[in-house]
Structure 1
Amino acid sequence: MTAELDLALERRIGNRSAAVIEKQLGISTVGGLLTYFPRRYLTRGELTPINEIPRDEEVTLIARVLSSNTRKMVQRKGSITDVVVSDDDGQAGLRLVGGTDYRGKVPGTLKISFFNGFRARNDLLPGRRALFSGKVTSFKGALGLTNPDYLVLDEDPFMAGGGDAEKLAAMPIPVYPATAKLPSWKIQKAVEALLDTMDLDALPDPLPADVTAREGFMPLGDAYRLIHAPKSADDWKRSRQRLRYHEALVLQSALARRRAQIAAEEATARKPVPDGLVAAFDANLPFTLTAGQAAVGETFAAELGRDSPMNRLLQGEVGSGKTVVALRAMLQVVDAGGQAALLAPTEVLAAQHYESIRRTLGPLSGDGLLGGLGSGPAVQVTLLTGSMPTAARKQAMLDAASGTAGIVIGTHALLSDNVSFYDLGLIVVDEQHRFGVEQRDALRAKARKPPHLLVMTATPIPRTVAMTVFGDLETSVLDELPAGRAGITTHVVGLAENPGWAGRIWSRSREEIDAGHQVYVVCPKIGTDDDGDFSPGEAAPGEAEPVNLGPGEADLDTGPVRELASVTAVVEHLAQEPALKGVPLAPLHGRQDPAVKSAAMADFTANRIKVLVSTTVIEVGVDVHNATLMVILDADRFGISQLHQLRGRVGRGGLPGTCLLVTALEPGHPSRRRLDAVAATTDGFELSQEDLKLRREGDILGASQSGGRSTLKLLRVLEHEDVIARARDDAHRIVAIDPDLTAHPALADAIDKYLNPEKEAFLERG
């Protein structure tokens, strides 16, 4: 019966239906449709008349469409479809809530908005009757629904046969993720046809019998039946619990099996060397390592000294000293005769790391052979980027290939096929969310034996949070700031409610400059010719991170179109700004010539430039101790992680830092939630949780970093940590006894079907 799940869908539901399912959903097998679970369920008990809708609560209502209108959004690309509905039986009036007077609203009507609602635009035509379910929100004084689930009742075969909505809603109605040309009810009919032709009870169960008994789970066949065709709410809830644990155990077993395989790989042990580079480095440090840095360093030293690869994630607050800890690990590898490669996401950051590491090493940084092979402890640090002059790049490549360079710092240029290493022993990936797993894998392939791997992040992004919860990587945490780091105060500067603050921003900047300090100004795009109105999932022009909107976070702002701040326009404006008269300022962005970028950063570091107007190229790694103020214009265009990273550039030299998050959005706009969250705390781990709530896990086992469609079907990281923890314990127990899962063929087969070789490879690469 395992072959049943791989069977072509047309063999069970016919060519015509199968062709539509494959075209619209990308599903071509029996197993694919069987595990295409309903998004949610609608029931009679949830129905709410329009005149009784509560604020900020989930409601379900049956209504008839009065009108539908689609318009372009003014703040970003895309459209909004506004659908006005009325109670189908003509019930009157919206209830007054909290004393609010809904004047101007037609009694008994409600506006429903769909962000990029292409399917809704086609489905919800005037006169049609539909079931809507979602959370009631308030925007600009009016109640409404944003992106609710819906079911067009006029199209349902039951309704066409003369049934009424009351009877239809008496049972749970599965609502499937649908498309414009394939509504939920058609998917439901295809699934029903599939269930009628399958012997579900013959499917092998991946869950061991003792786990099924302990958890009190229903049989697997019943779970598949009742999740798609429940007779009661208890049916789909119990089936979801069963299949959710099924999913968790399969994933955790894959991770446990991969972990065991990695532990069995043979790496080159890089044992600590007495009186080598690490000892000399520690002796020359002008400060004392924090307790956290020392503890993490001991862990790294022990794991690098083993003949199995270290595979570790280092999480740390912005400014917690991750780079120093990573440098000590690199020096230990060099002491043992190997090389270390540090992969950075931008040339600015790579150059900063290069200068910072050479400066930190002091007399230990020099030319010559690998540490321990010369007259005294020394290590050559080499920079390799794509924009370097040809001669310099060739020399850097020669140094890496010959082993002359002990530490090689670079960008994507390190991944080039013509770059090789003499003996690559450790890969350090900085700000790992900026790289795809394929890129890290390309660097791993340059080592003779599986290298040790260390990935670092300041604010865990959703995918990182998910991976660490699932336990794929060993995790180290630095949550203590080194002595001398001052606090950062963050304020939301709302120009909609306080337009006069626009000028105050620059006079506040002048105060910092007059006090001898420097200022960053960050813009979401480079030039006025860029298209600043970008939609979710697209990279914002000028190197800004795409903002993934949270649930219900459609852009409902109907104000005038505004031009987003650009580096070129802001530089021109500030040159004429009276408060900054005579202040030296410079632009910095990714399209500049590398020499121009380097000169701008050098001038800012040397305090010759007082105001640096930049894109997010200064997001990580840039370390100018004299900078105390950061102004982020159109801050609502950036994600939580990016805002936290950006503000970490100030307050680095013992001077208090201030970050101003400037936005033109109104206070009630959903997108301001991100800004309020960042202003409320400097705890990066707390922010990562909020980020995950807004952006979802992303494709845990794929290249996608956040948002979009997740490989996970029923598991949600924040909601089901207890399920994941139990499944992890079960998986580790099973794999410890049976590493190859020989005694658990159904579980092994489920792993192969769930992950497939490509996805499982991500576990190794990530």
Structure 2
Amino acid sequence: MAHTSDGTVWGGDRRALVDLVGERGAKRLEQLDIHSPRDLLRHYPRKYFHRGRYTRLRDLVSGEHATVMAQVKGVEDFKSRNKRLHVVKISITDGDTVVPLTFFARRPYMVEYIKKQLRPGTSAMFSGQVTYYRGDLELIHPDYEPLPQAMDEEEAARRAARPVPVYPATAKLPTWRISDMVRLALEPLQPSEVNDILPGEVRQRRELPGTVAALHMIHQPGNDLDWQAARRRFAYEEAFLLQTALARRRAEIAARDATPRPGTTDGLLAALDAQLPFTLTDGQRQVSAEIAADLAGASPMQRLLQGEVGSGKTVVALRAMCQVIDSGGQAALLAPTEVLAAQHARSIRHLLGPLAEAGTLGGDARGTKVTLLTGSVTGPARRQALADAASGASGIVIGTHALLEEKVQFADLALTVIDEQHRFGVEQRDALRAKGRTMPHQLYLTATPIPRSVAMTVFGDVEVSTLREIPAGRSGVTTYLAPAGQQKWMQRIWALIAEQVAAGHRAYVVAPRITSTSLEDDGAAPLDLDGPAGPDAPGQGGPVPGDGGPATVEDTYARLGKEPALRGISLGLLHGRLSAEEKDAAMAAFASGQTPVLVTTTVIEVGVDVPEATVMVVLDADRFGLSQLHQLRGRIGRGSAPGTCVLVTGAHPDSPSVRRLKVMTETTDGFVLAEQDLAQRREGDVLGAAQSGRGTSLRLLSVVRDRELIEQARQDARALITADPNLVHHVEVLTAITELVDPDHEEFLDRA
């Protein structure tokens, strides 16, 4: 087997994999992103079976590819109607539920072989596609692996205690064949051939086995304690590498110089506070104090401000901007969409009032100028915006990706505020940061509450401030679930919208798709699908009773125009394919009441503030994650009138999708919903950003299950970087970090 760059012989390359499992095996492993023997050994089991403990067959879901352990209950065979095929029906059971398996054979000897392999009473693993046939679950022509029968009681007891690994598999490569391949790679492996990534002192402190021992324990466990200990070791390794990369990056940033921006006692910030028409919440004051202290320091601030929907993050960010302006600097606010950038500009100008009109008749002498720079700002307006930013006349420059262009220069960029920063790439954030004389202080905003375990895992050592308190004066939102396709419900929903419009309010109708062929593509957060719709989502909640297709903006807009309850009410249309001018016009018409009903996609998910909006109807709500639904719901009830949110779903009332959506009706606490969302979503969704797109990097680490482990790994990583900042004495760790996060994306880990 070929040596790898780290001096071991357990890595190899594709050639080594072909030598091990053959060309056909290697090609099938490639579908699982396995390209070397080391990849194969790092392809960990996803669960374990125990002989005599059968899979709960009632939990099978139509449409999924499942692997189950069950006992054969009955066997029968007969010829098909056309007499060309023999049909073998095998019924399997977990002791409670019975599921039929169907096999097709062309020759009688094939029938006899299946019947011999799967005699009644035989325990076996079965792997195949779950389908519905005549109302019952069924597996069609599954792969199977009968479990060996013990020869005596001692052997039976030993085998009963030995867990059977179940690997992530494919239709052409079932779990037991992967297990055979793993054994080929594992048996010749010696501890001396592997440089352990984890430092010896860390393994000893945390009582973790070495790499080779852990590989044997996770792939060939003698009992449950073996694989549990091995799983903990490899999960810890992933957490340790991630936290070390984060700690290293944060140490590098902390060592950089930033210009202190302490502010003044009688400048723009004091003038803003004096004219605010509301009292800051305790949370806003506390977070503002934390940010103010950071800005006054000589090291670059790296702070994430997460806030409940409507908690007042904008005013906190504005106060930070005013502080750096009072210190002679400028602030730039980067937003992911033109709709959001324009909303920020309106909100900030409104809060500042005359303080945003420096240099104009009626402007306050203590004020500054607020400039909006987006792709749609052209001609003389663009030239003026560029001049104001470069000269320092504009203390606050708000924009989209247009801010990142080379032509955009600042006199003294002191603070960058990045809203919904996860929508920007590393290079984009770097381009803005590079526009400062010294490294600017950085404040990141997110309207999605982040559980602590995720913050530790994805955001590393970035300081996190949290706003949970909602400003007084808001009446709140009540949320309901509505079954799609039931005419009385849908008629009542449209009548509710008409009633609210008649009272001077506004309504959003949200659909997940623009057309029947395309998802929203305007830079909004991707839809958080639960996976295959399966039998619990018939029709998937079309926008109109009886409409079996997916809800789309264009179709909904056309149909609602013909809805009797909405006759005489003007409808607006908003989605990502519209031009910037069309988006602005749609939002302006909605805000003014010219088109009091807006049919839209998730482009309005974050930042859009229309206090008159009191109703939101979300079609196909089961297609969205809880956190995203919470953001959408946050667009209503922002004024003094109470809000009503209706989540329309075509999912079966007893389905997991509906049970998940019911949480939305029980709480408006975004942090509770974030924890629920985290518990229900795939780990890869949560950690995908930290992997920078490398789907093979984090396999076992669970931010739900491993919070304590992540805490320990962070402590050890910080200690390591303090003692060895450049990892000169820990080459294995440095090499592993490079593989986990390539140099171009290491910075992405701290979301900076």
**Shorter-normalised TM-score: what interval?**
0.7 to 0.9
Q: 1:27 to 1:451 in 2, by over 3 A?
A: farther
Unaligned runs of 5+ in 2: 78-86, 103-112, 119-123, 150-154, 540-545
Partner SS, residue 47 of structure 1: coil
Partner SS, residue 3 of structure 1: coil
Give the corresponding residue for 2:13.
Answer: 8
Q: 1:215 to 1:601 in 2, by over 3 A?
A: closer
Q: 1:84 & 1:337 partners in 2: Cα distance?
A: 82
Deviations 1:336-373 (A, max 9, x none): 2222221112211111111111111111112459xxxx
> Could you tell me which of 38, 42, 46 is aligned with 1:35?
42
Q: Does 1:639 align with 2:625?
A: yes
Q: 1:146 to 1:592 in 2, by over 3 A?
A: farther
Q: 1:737 & 1:58 partners in 2: Cα distance?
A: 47
Of residues 401-410 and 676-685 in structure 1, the stretch that sits farther from structure 2 once superposed is: 401-410
Q: Does 1:311 align with 2:320?
A: no
1:657: how far off? 1.2
Q: 2:512 & 2:173 partners in 1: Cα distance?
A: 38
Unaligned runs of 5+ in 1: 68-82, 97-107, 113-124
1:660: how far off? 1.1
Matches within 5 A, 1:267-278: 267-278=258-269
Give the corresponding residue for 1:102.
Answer: none
1:264: how far off? 1.0
Give the corresponding residue for 1:439.
Answer: 428
Q: 1:398 to 1:45 in 2, by over 3 A?
A: farther
Give the corresponding residue for 1:243.
Answer: 234
Q: Does 1:621 align with 2:604?
A: no
Partner SS, residue 671 of structure 1: helix
Q: Does 1:666 align with 2:652?
A: yes
Q: Does 1:413 align with 2:402?
A: yes
Give the corresponding residue for 1:70.
Answer: none
Matches within 5 A, 1:441-590: 441-460=430-449, 465-467=454-456, 471-496=460-485, 498-526=486-514, 530-531=515-516, 539-540=519-520, 545-550=525-530, 554=534, 556-558=536-538, 562-590=548-576
Supply the RMSD in Å over aligned alpha carbons.
Answer: 4.1
Partner SS, residue 253 of structure 1: helix
**2:510·2:602 contact (CA, 8 Å) conserved in 1?**
yes
Deviations 1:212-248 (A, max 9, x none): 3443333332112221222332221222122222222
1:322: how far off? 0.3
> Could you tell me which of 340, 348, 357 is aligned with 1:366?
357
**1:512·1:628 contact (CA, 8 Å) conserved in 2?**
yes
Give the corresponding residue for 1:686.
Answer: 672
1:491: how far off? 0.7
Q: 1:470 & 1:727 partners in 2: Cα distance?
A: 14
1:135: how far off? 14
Of residues 722-731 and 663-672 in structure 1, the stretch that sits farther from structure 2 once superposed is: 663-672
Give the corresponding residue for 1:109.
Answer: 99
**2:678·2:686 contact (CA, 8 Å) conserved in 1?**
no
Q: Which amino acid aligns with 2:440?
A: P
Give the corresponding residue for 1:103.
Answer: none
Q: Which amino acid aligns with 1:131?
A: M
**1:297·1:329 contact (CA, 8 Å) conserved in 2?**
yes
Partner SS, residue 7 of structure 2: helix
Q: 2:88 & 2:319 partners in 1: Cα distance?
A: 63
**1:65·1:85 contact (CA, 8 Å) conserved in 2?**
yes
**2:386·2:408 contact (CA, 8 Å) conserved in 1?**
yes
1:189: how far off? 3.1
**1:525·1:542 contact (CA, 8 Å) conserved in 2?**
no
Q: 1:400 & 1:692 partners in 2: Cα distance?
A: 41
Q: Which amino acid aligns with 1:230?
A: P
Q: 1:437 to 1:472 in 2, by over 3 A?
A: farther
Matches within 5 A, 1:138-217: 144=137, 152-153=144-145, 171-217=162-208
**1:401·1:421 contact (CA, 8 Å) conserved in 2?**
yes
Deviations 1:305-361 (A, max 9, x none): 112111111111110000100111112222222222211122111111111111111
1:552: how far off? 8.0
Of residues 672-681 and 274-283 in structure 1, the stretch that sits farther from structure 2 once superposed is: 672-681
> Could you tell me which of 131, 146, 150 is aligned with 2:125?
131
Deviations 1:508-546 (A, max 9, x none): 1222223332222222233xxx225x7xxxx44677754
TM-score (norm 2): 0.82
**1:59·1:134 contact (CA, 8 Å) conserved in 2?**
no
> Could you tell me which of 342, 359, 376 is aligned with 1:387?
376
Deviations 1:15-56 (A, max 9, x none): 764753774344444543332222222221323697xx6899
Q: 1:587 & 1:553 partners in 2: Cα distance?
A: 27
Q: 1:449 & 1:463 partners in 2: Cα distance?
A: 31
Give the corresponding residue for 1:101.
Answer: none
Q: 1:317 & 1:111 partners in 2: Cα distance?
A: 50
Q: 1:630 & 1:146 partners in 2: Cα distance?
A: 41
1:278: how far off? 1.0
1:649: how far off? 1.2
Q: 1:588 & 1:552 partners in 2: Cα distance?
A: 28
Q: 1:571 to 1:687 in 2, by over 3 A?
A: same
Of residues 657-666 and 441-450 in structure 1, the stretch that sits farther from structure 2 once superposed is: 441-450
Q: 1:600 to 1:165 in 2, by over 3 A?
A: farther
Q: Does 1:295 align with 2:286?
A: yes
- Aligned pair count reads 701
Matches within 5 A, 1:607-618: 607-618=593-604
Q: 2:37 & 2:101 partners in 1: Cα distance?
A: 39
Q: 1:460 & 1:250 partners in 2: Cα distance?
A: 25
Q: 2:185 & 2:245 partners in 1: Cα distance?
A: 29
**1:699·1:709 contact (CA, 8 Å) conserved in 2?**
no
1:648: how far off? 0.8
**1:350·1:411 contact (CA, 8 Å) conserved in 2?**
yes
Q: 1:12 & 1:507 partners in 2: Cα distance?
A: 64
Q: 1:135 & 1:232 partners in 2: Cα distance?
A: 30
Give the corresponding residue for 2:243.
Answer: 252
